[in-house]
């Protein structure tokens, strides 16, 4: 090939495969910090809003003017992909999303920030691994037992009262007097 061949100008005459993807471009340090902060925010929002039935977040796109709906895991994977490759991942729009099933990013971020300011961040959540009524395993974000359907908040409240020094028997008595069903 000659030196003035147009394929050489595009890097194709030099033996490079035109279909081969370019190597990942690392994010600038401040961009990487921003994406990592978004991942932390996403985890916090998920811990707060998923137990309430939220399927993910909606983000208003400044480029196209449309709302983009992401389920929790899709957005997590997209942000992780950005950290690894330096490029955003394309995604298919949600099929007829119900807007009420998604939390607006800015609202969710403000909400979890307010919880954190009040000392109620996710790290303060009370872990629960089994339903106290039927002993079925439960995930940390479950609001109700998937087997018996009972609310798990009362068990978390009981655990917190005991961890703060209240006698177990007294904590149970208070919860029963408040109208909660007794559990073992």
Angle, CA of 104, 61 and 88, to the nearest 5°: 105
Closest by CA position to 72, among listed 107, 25, 38, 96: 38
For residues 137-147, give the mean pLDDT.
88
pLDDT on residue 166 = 93
Q: Which residues pair with 137 in a beta bridge?
A: 130
3-state class (DSSP) for residue 70 = strand
Cβ neighbours of residue 100 closer than 8 Å, sequence gap 6 or more: none
Distance CA 2, CA 69 (A): 51
9-13, 118-122, 138-142, 146-150: the lowest-pLDDT one: 9-13
Q: What tens digit of pLDDT does each residue of 74-119 get?
A: 899 999 999 988 887 776 666 778 889 999 999 999 999 888 888 7
Residue 67 to residues 3, 103, 170: CA-CA distances in angstroms? 49, 11, 50
Q: What is the mean pLDDT of the chain?
A: 82
pLDDT of residue 8: 37
- 138 contacts 153 by C-beta, under 8 angstroms: no
Asked whether the predicted pLDDT for residue 26 surpasses 90, the reply is no
Say whether pLDDT at 3 is over 50: no
Least confident of 35-49, 91-105, 117-131: 117-131
* pLDDT score recorded for residue 1: 40
Rounded to a whole number of angstroms, the CA Rg of the chain reads: 24
């Amino acid at each position: 090939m000659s030196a003035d061949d147009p394929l050489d100008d595009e890097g194709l005459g030099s033996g490079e495969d035109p279909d081969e993807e370019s190597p990942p471009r690392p994010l600038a340090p401040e961009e990487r910090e921003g994406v990592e902060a978004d991942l932390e925010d996403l985890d916090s929002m998920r811990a707060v809003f998923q137990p309430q039935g939220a399927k993910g977040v909606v983000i208003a796109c400044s480029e196209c003017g449309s709302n983009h709906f992401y389920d929790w895991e899709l957005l997590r994977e997209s942000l992780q992909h950005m950290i690894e490759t330096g490029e955003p991942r394309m995604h298919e729009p949600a099929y007829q999303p119900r807007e009420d099933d998604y939390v607006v990013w800015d609202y969710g971020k403000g909400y979890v920030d307010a919880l954190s300011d009040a000392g109620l961040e996710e790290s303060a959540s009370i872990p629960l691994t089994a339903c106290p009524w039927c002993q079925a395993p439960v995930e940390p974000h479950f609001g109700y037992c998937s087997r018996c359907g009972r609310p798990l908040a009362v068990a978390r409240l009981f655990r917190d009262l005991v961890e703060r020094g209240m006698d177990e028997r007294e904590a149970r008595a208070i919860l029963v007097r408040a109208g909660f069903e007794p559990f073992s």
